[in-house]
């Protein structure tokens, strides 16, 4: 298929899907219910209150509307039957009324009692709109949106500003996947696969609201570009719940899982287990030209071209156990533990051609390799919270520990075809592991109805070790390659303290904060005496932040924020210890400094309760001493020729200035169209060999997605994504684009869910990079089996209200990073 015909076909498919979604309509019903909402005390109309109508038999939502400025509401197309009508609005008590509908009904004036409603533990009086901006957070108040109550967490996030979730559960925020998912103010450490299943199974009626944070303040220790915090309700009834399912694709990939929950008003026990198998296939090609300085500029030293094919069989399993216990109304205790092993078997084939111009030498070889490996992760944690009152005054302690181990055994056979034919065999063994413990103490105290302070401490200890043993067959004996064998140890210690204050002046919110960080990083090599490669470094940083926001009554939201962040180099980036590869070598740089990032954002967002949103964000991110890897040619006696040598450096300057535009058309909670685009200018400046080099480039990306839920059972989605080439130091990454589509359906009152997803329909996904340093040029492409058709199902038994807990096991897989950094 040609590129033109492929694009024409893709346009037809997307157009057809789009038209099909627009043609969706609800079934015809003949009855209309009207009424007027009035404040019982003042007699004034209750404006914009939410009115929902649910079937009496199974609580399925059949109608939803909002009152107008006169307090008038109208529910249309209501079939005959028995219903429960619920009127709710922050600042008032919920009003419930049973109705038997057989014709049009005028309920007259309905008196609503004033009251208070809480968000979490902080008492909030007055209006609570569906969308709001407060400080650094954008709120989507899910509990105020009855039309999503019968859906899942995926349905909720599809409607959250700036958030997108595909059919399989992959989450992006403002077009980037650099996002952390938090549950009830705690980092969930969800891996991508676990996130998919968690969001698709968690019921929407267990969520109170969603907080979207695009520029995290000093309150959060996150290094991600954004945070999505899902705050759940606390409705738990005495019951048990069992669910199991499987996901499979033509990749091939298969993953069966099962979970069990037992719970009452005080105690909840959760078990989760899964198994997975996948087969990956990849192809790649690289051209590389090495230069050296000459009398008339640079001269070509060598040219290399290699192509490779690989395949890998991977197996995984997991077991998670957790207990949540409410000691009394003011004290809660939680414990969790998990173990996740993984196995790998792989094969690869590589062919390389090399021409050495200075030596007038040409060589060619073929290489076959196979390997196997296994790894495991295990961990556990304990969380305790004490409430001093129910208005947000609390103290919490979170302690976590984990261990991670790995080993691999690889064998390669390299056949040299020219200039001399011979065969070389090599065995490589890698072993390693890590252990870490972290603890976090957080104290929150409101000092008035409009203000709150938060204090916290976070500490962590991590110890990592790794071994590499390389043996080469010489005659009938295996001889150790001492240059490629090593033993390293890298302990690290972290201490952080943060303070934040938030105060509201009407609709204006100010939130200053500061975080103090100390990190001690070390690395040493016990087998080397004296250990000239040992490194011991202390890093101290103070991270201030300031967030301002203002919201008008007509739901215009303005925000201005500044944050300062730091990122320290890893231990292996700091040591001068040289690691030798097959045709290249690399080392660290002990002179590296921490990356310092200044982020400034100014944004405007307009929300409409019924029709969606539109927003603009202007941002500026300046990184001082950004760390990038430089690859240069270097002659080494081990290879007897020029090869590539890589080492990290601090870039002099790195700046991104951009504009984001996002819009969502949302006529109801079961249909939306989203468009997101990001355009930015990147600038890099560095010194190399006493010469100053500058790079600048415009990059843009856009994402168009269409999503709908039909007849409250069938979910349809289609999306298209494009990102233009982007740059890093002496490197450009090629453009990336894809089109995806999917279906998902619920049956038997949500006891069974099935999904079908086509990812990268036209198999466009590939990775490509061009490197253009002063004395080395390379062009690489990497293609993998990205076009997949996936099918999955879930069966559920028990109360749906407990399903959010049934997936907590998946939420903890891979949480080996220790306890959450940042405030609770």
| Rounded mean pLDDT, 433-438 | 90
Please give the pLDDT value at position 199.
66
Cα(712)–Cα(747) distance, integer angstroms? 10
pLDDT in the model for residue 192: 52
| Listed range (34-43, 406-415, 661-670) with the worst mean pLDDT | 661-670
What pLDDT is attached to residue 165? 65
The stretch 212-226 carries a mean pLDDT of: 75
- 160-to-113, 210, 591, 658 alpha-carbon distances in Å: 30, 7, 44, 22
SS3 call for 265: coil
Q: Cβ distance 55 to 128 under 8 Å?
A: no
Amino acid 476: pLDDT? 80
Q: How confident is the model at residue 526 (pLDDT cuts 50, 70, 90)?
A: confident
At 117, is the pLDDT very low, low, confident or very high (cuts 50, 70, 90)?
Answer: very low
Average pLDDT, stretch 216-241? 68
596-647 confidence digits (pLDDT tens): 889 899 989 887 766 777 889 898 988 888 887 777 778 888 887 778 888 8
Residues 6+ apart with CB under 8 A from 298: 291, 292, 774, 775
**pLDDT attached to residue 729:** 74
**Does residue 655 carry a pLDDT above 60?**
yes
Instruction: Express as a percent the part of the chain with pLDDT over 70.
Output: 80
Q: How confident is the model over 246-258, as pLDDT tens digits?
A: 878 777 888 888 8
By the 10 Å C-beta count (0-12 exposed, 13-18 middle, 19+ buried), 593 is classed as: middle
CA 201 to chain centre: 18
Higher pLDDT, 369 or 242: 369
Tens digits of residue pLDDT in 68-116: 778 888 888 788 888 888 887 756 777 888 899 988 999 999 998 875 4
Is the pLDDT at 521 greater than 90? The verdict is: yes
pLDDT given for residue 446 in this prediction: 92
Q: Over the chain, what is the mean pLDDT?
A: 78
pTM above 0.85, yes or no: no
Q: Is the dihedral of CA 193, 194, 200, 204 positive or negative?
A: negative
Q: What is the mean pLDDT of residues 231-260?
A: 71
**Rounded mean pLDDT, 52-69:** 71
Decide if pLDDT at 771 tops 70: yes
Kindly give, in sequence order, each residue whose CB lies less than 8 Å from that of residue 249, ignoring residues fewer than 6 positions away.
788, 789, 790, 791
Across 81-95, 339-353, 810-824, the highest mean pLDDT is recorded for 339-353
pLDDT of the residue at 560: 93
Res 191 pLDDT > 90: no
User: 541 or 418: whose pLDDT is higher?
Assistant: 541
- Whether the Cβ atoms of residue 685 and residue 652 lie closer than 8 Å to each other: yes
* Confidence at 239, pLDDT banded by 50, 70, 90: low
Average pLDDT over residues 513-540: 90
Quick one: how far is CA 44 from the chain centroid?
Answer: 46
Question: In whole angstroms, what separates CA 188 from the centre of its chain?
Answer: 11
pLDDT-based confidence at residue 815 (cuts at 50, 70, 90): very low
Average pLDDT rounded to a whole number, residues 716-741: 82
The residue among 823, 808, 821, 812 whose CA lies nearest residue 380 is: 812
Q: Which of 402, 507, 565 is nearest to 127 (CA)?
A: 507
Q: In the predicted model, is pLDDT for residue 457 greater than 90?
A: yes
Pairing of strands 131-134, 267-294: unpaired
Residue predicted with more confidence, 494 or 364: 494
Label the pairing between strands 641-668 and 584-586: parallel
Residue 233 binned pLDDT confidence (cut-offs 50, 70, 90): low
User: What pLDDT is recorded for position 798?
Assistant: 64
Cβ atoms < 10 Å from Cβ of 435: 17
What percent of the chain clears pLDDT 90, i.e. is strictly above it? 14
- DSSP-derived pairing of the beta strands 105-112 and 31-39: parallel
pLDDT classification of 562: cutoffs 50, 70, 90: very high
For residue 246, the model assigns a pLDDT of: 82
pLDDT of residue 130: 61
In our burial notation (b when 16+ CB lie closer than 10 A, e otherwise), range 648-665 reads bbbbbebbeebebebebe
Q: What is the pLDDT of residue 572?
A: 85
């Amino acid at each position: 298929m040609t590129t033109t015909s492929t694009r024409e076909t893709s346009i037809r498919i997307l157009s057809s899907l789009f038209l099909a979604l627009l043609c969706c309509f609800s079934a015809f019903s003949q009855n209309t219910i009207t009424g007027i909402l009035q404040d019982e005390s003042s007699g004034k109309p209750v404006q914009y209150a939410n009115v929902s109508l649910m079937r009496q038999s199974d609580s399925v939502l059949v109608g939803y509307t909002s009152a107008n400025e006169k307090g008038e509401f109208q529910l249309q197309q209501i079939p005959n039957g028995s219903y429960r009508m619920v009127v709710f609005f922050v600042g008032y008590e919920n009003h419930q009324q049973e109705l038997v509908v057989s014709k049009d009904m005028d309920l007259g004036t309905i008196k609503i009692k004033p009251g208070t409603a809480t968000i979490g533990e902080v008492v909030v009086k007055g209006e609570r709109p569906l969308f709001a901006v407060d400080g650094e957070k954008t709120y989507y108040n899910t509990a105020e949106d009855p039309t999503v109550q019968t859906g899942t967490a995926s349905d909720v996030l599809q409607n959250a500003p700036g958030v997108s979730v595909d059919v399989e559960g992959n989450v992006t925020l403002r077009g980037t996947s650099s996002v952390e998912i938090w549950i009830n103010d705690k980092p969930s450490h969800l891996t991508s696969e676990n996130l998919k299943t968690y969001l698709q199974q968690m019921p929407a009626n267990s969520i109170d609201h969603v907080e979207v944070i695009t520029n995290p303040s000093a309150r959060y220790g996150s290094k991600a570009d954004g945070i999505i915090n899902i705050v759940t309700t606390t409705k738990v009834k005495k019951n048990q719940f069992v669910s199991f399912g499987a996901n499979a694709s033509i990749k091939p990939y298969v993953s069966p899982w099962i979970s069990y929950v037992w719970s009452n008003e005080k105690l909840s026990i959760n078990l989760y287990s899964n198994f997975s198998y996948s087969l990956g296939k990849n192809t790649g090609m690289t051209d590389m030209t090495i230069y050296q300085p000459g009398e008339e500029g640079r001269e070509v030293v060598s040219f290399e071209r290699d192509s490779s094919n690989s395949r890998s069989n991977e197996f995984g399993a997991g077991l998670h156990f957790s207990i949540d216990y409410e000691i009394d109304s003011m004290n809660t205790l939680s414990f969790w533990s998990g173990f996740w092993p993984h196995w790998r078997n792989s094969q690869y084939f590589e062919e390389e051609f090399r021409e050495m111009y200075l030596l007038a030498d040409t060589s060619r070889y073929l290489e076959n390799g196979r390997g196997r490996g296994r790894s495991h992760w295990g961990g556990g944690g304990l969380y305790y919270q004490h409430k001093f009152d129910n208005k947000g005054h609390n103290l919490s302690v979170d302690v976590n520990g984990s261990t991670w181990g790995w080993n691999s055994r690889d064998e390669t056979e390299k056949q040299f075809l020219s200039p001399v034919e011979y065969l070389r065999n090599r065995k490589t063994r890698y072993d390693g592991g890590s252990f870490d413990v972290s603890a976090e103490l957080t104290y929150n105290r409101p000092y008035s109805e409009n203000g709150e302070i938060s204090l916290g401490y976070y500490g962590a200890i991590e110890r990592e070790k790794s071994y590499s043993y390389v043996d080469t067959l010489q005659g009938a004996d295996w001889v150790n390659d001492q240059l490629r064998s090593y033993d390293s140890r890298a302990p690290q210690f972290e201490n952080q303290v943060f303070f934040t204050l938030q105060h509201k002046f009407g609709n204006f919110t100010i939130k200053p904060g500061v975080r103090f960080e100390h990190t001690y990083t070390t690395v040493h090599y016990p087998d080397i005496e004296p250990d000239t490669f040992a490194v011991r470094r202390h890093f101290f940083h103070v991270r201030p932040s300031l967030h301002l926001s203002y919201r008008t009554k007509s739901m215009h939201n303005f925000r201005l924020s500044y944050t300062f962040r730091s990122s320290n180099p890893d231990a292996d980036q700091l040591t001068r210890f040289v690691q030798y590869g097959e045709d290249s070598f690399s080392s660290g740089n002990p002179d590296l400094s921490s990356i310092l990032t200044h982020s400034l954002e100014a944004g405007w967002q307009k929300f409409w309760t019924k029709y969606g949103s539109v927003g603009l964000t202007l941002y500026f991110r300046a990184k001082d001493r950004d760390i990038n890897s430089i690859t240069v040619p270097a002659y080494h006696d081990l290879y007897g020729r020029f090869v590539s040598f890589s080492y990290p450096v601090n870039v002099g300057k790195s700046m991104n200035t951009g504009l984001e535009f996002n819009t969502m058309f949302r006529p109801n909670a079961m249909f939306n169209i989203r468009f997101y685009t990001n355009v930015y200018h990147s600038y890099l400046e560095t010194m190399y060999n006493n010469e100053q080099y500058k790079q600048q480039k415009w990059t843009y990306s856009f994402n168009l997605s269409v999503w709908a839920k039909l007849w409250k059972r069938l979910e349809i989605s289609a999306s298209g994504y494009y990102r233009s080439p982007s740059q890093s130091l002496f490197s450009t990454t090629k453009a990336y684009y894809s089109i995806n589509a999917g279906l998902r359906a619920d049956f038997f009152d949500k006891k069974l869910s099935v999904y079908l997803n086509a990812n990268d329909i036209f198999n466009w996904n590939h990775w490509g990079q061009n490197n253009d340093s002063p004395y080395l040029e390379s062009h690489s492409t990497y293609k993998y089996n990205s076009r997949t058709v996936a099918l999955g199902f879930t069966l559920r038994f028990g109360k749906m209200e407990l399903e959010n807990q049934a997936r907590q096991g998946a939420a903890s897989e891979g949480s080996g990073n220790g306890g959450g950094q940042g405030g609770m």
